Amino acid sequence: MSHPAKPSLLPTLTFGIASAVLYYLLFHYADHFVDWAVRTKHGEKSLFLIPVAVAFAFSYFHGQFTGHFWETIGLRAAKTSVVTKKK
């Protein structure tokens, strides 16, 4: 029986560090984010894109990190999913 290839630690570490940096920046500059929200509320409507852009950035880096993280510790999808099996 062939054994699945051992996942590489590198992407987990890379995306993990990137994700940690993003969270550090978010909380280091938290007051700015609160201030931008208040300014959006008071008429500077173009700032509404900031939370949307932040959410997309976190979804990519943190999403990649969490995916690789579970794979690294051995939690992987079944090679053939139930849906595919039924075809």
Instruction: Please identify, using beta-carbon distances, which residue of 18 and 54 lies nearer to other proteins.
Output: 54
- Residue 79 phi/psi, 5-degree rounding, is -60, -35
Instruction: Kindly state whether residue 25 participates in binding other proteins, applying the rule CB under 8 A.
Output: no
Q: Residues 37 to 66: which contact other proteins by CB under 8 A? A: 37-42, 45, 48-52, 54-56, 58-59, 62-63, 65-66
* In the complex, least distance from residue 61 CB atom to other proteins, rounded to whole angstroms: 10
How far, CA to CA in Å, does 49 sit from each of 9, 18, 55, 68? Answer: 34, 22, 10, 29
